[in-house]
A = this chain, B = another copy of it.
Amino acid sequence: MAIVVQKFGGTSVADAEKIRRAAGRALKAHRQGHQVVVVASARGKQTDQLIADALELNPKPPRRELDQLLSTGEQQTVSLMAMALDAMGQKAISFTGAQIRMITDDAHTRARIQSIDADRIRQRLDEGYIVIVAGFQGVDEKGNVTTLGRGGSDTSAVALAAALKAQVCEIYTDVDGIYTTDPRIFPAAVKMDRISYDEILELASLGAGVMHGRSIEFGKKYDVPIHVRSSLNDSPGTLITHEVPQMEGILVSGATLQKELAKITLVGVDNKPGNAARIFAHLATARVIVNDIIQTEVSPEKANLSFTVAKGDLDDACTALEGIREEVGCESLFVRDDIAEISVVGVGMRSHYGVADKLFRALAEAEVNIDSITTSEIRISCIVDIQQGTTALQAVCNAFELDKPATQRKP
């Protein structure tokens, strides 16, 4: 019998009615002949409330104790969902991370999963139970409760699906799938039926924000099909899978616009080995996350080095750079916080030429000026003026026909 893992986020289990609805969905899959494992998050704003309770007592709560506290949110949801299923006449049992030996390292509040005791779950499934597992949490070798950090419940779900060799990991959310782009900017955006792990990873890191990158990486590593779908209806959502041949035919799967960026250029850095390393080590020490890096020689002795950071990190980045400027011979810092980045992503780029050409032409026709360009194997990004961000994304979406299902686009 095929195993299905269903994950419900906080908004999908926020109150009794929603817990009942989620339970009903699990029951339906069970009655269709599947073995069902549910992974649930804490109810609604529970985690926020617990964090507020903690901060009232300690502005810097010890991470071990924070994990001990926060893990109760998911534990409450899973026991309540088991009760809901019992009321529907269905055998159900809830487990905490500790109870299924979801072993992690001891990096509290951002632990990494190391192993799962799938046998305990399998035994209950074979006995006809629906098994409900608390997401977001694990336990270290010594029995201390750990949590997995942002997007942790997704990671729990995908990891369980991998350990159980589940047919699919369904992620229930309040949107009905992943769209070709943000419908608030390009209202004609369409839902994607299918997308590859690599593409969604590029889209996630660019801020599409549907799922956290870690759970996708897990899915990719263990080849778990992930179905992102709505908790409000039965329509199929978007299936995230390994790459299949027909994906190659799609030039661009999706496009994104990212506004919360700033760009820093170090002008006239001495063109000597080790200078780039010095600069980025300095930024890493200041905990600044650096995105797209561009370096170009401007003379035999000098180079310009640009990169983007989140706007919130800009001050920290500049402070850190002031401490290294002299050492690397940087003549001046040039900062832009009035930029946006548009990106197009698609595995088809690997085998098709003309994508960059089409992109630049679309931007030119929309009279959008390009500040700079970076690319990866399946992505092209352009930095533009923030005022032109929306125009740029719309122009690109029209050019790549992101208002149509992939199969109906011109080749």
* Closest chain B residue, CB of each to CB of A120: B143
- A94 at the binding interface (Cβ < 8 Å): yes
A-B contact pairs, 28 of them (CB 8 A): A16-B53, A16-B56, A20-B57, A54-B79, A54-B80, A57-B80, A57-B84, A58-B83, A58-B86, A61-B83, A61-B86, A62-B82, A62-B83, A62-B86, A64-B93, A65-B80, A68-B75, A68-B82, A68-B94, A69-B75, A69-B76, A69-B80, A69-B83, A71-B75, A72-B72, A72-B75, A98-B143, A99-B143
Q: Are A69 and B62 in contact, with the CB atoms below 8 A? A: no
- A339 at the binding interface (Cβ < 8 Å): no
Chain B residues with CB below 8 A from A57, complex form: 16, 19-20, 80, 83-84, 87
Q: Which listed residue, B50, B64, B98, touches A76 by the CB 8 Å rule?
A: B50
- A190 at the binding interface (Cβ < 8 Å): no
Determine the interface band of chain A, counting residues with CB < 8 A from chain B.
35 or more
How many copies of the polypeptide does the oligomer hold? Answer: 2
Chain B residues with CB below 8 A from A144, complex form: 99
Least CB distance from A148 to B in Å reads 17
* Closest chain B residue, CB of each to CB of A86: B62
Chain A: interface secondary structure?
helix
Least CB distance from A118 to B in Å reads 15
Give the distance in Å from the alpha carbon of A96 to the alpha carbon of B87 in the complex: 29
Chain B residues with CB below 8 A from A69, complex form: 75-76, 79-80, 83
Least CB distance from A270 to B in Å reads 47
- A111 at the binding interface (Cβ < 8 Å): no
Mask: chain A, 67-103; 1 = CB below 8 Å from B; 0 = not: 0110110011011101110110000011010110000
Chain B residues with CB below 8 A from A168, complex form: none
Least CB distance from A369 to B in Å reads 52
* Closest chain B residue, CB of each to CB of A76: B72
Chain B residues with CB below 8 A from A145, complex form: 96
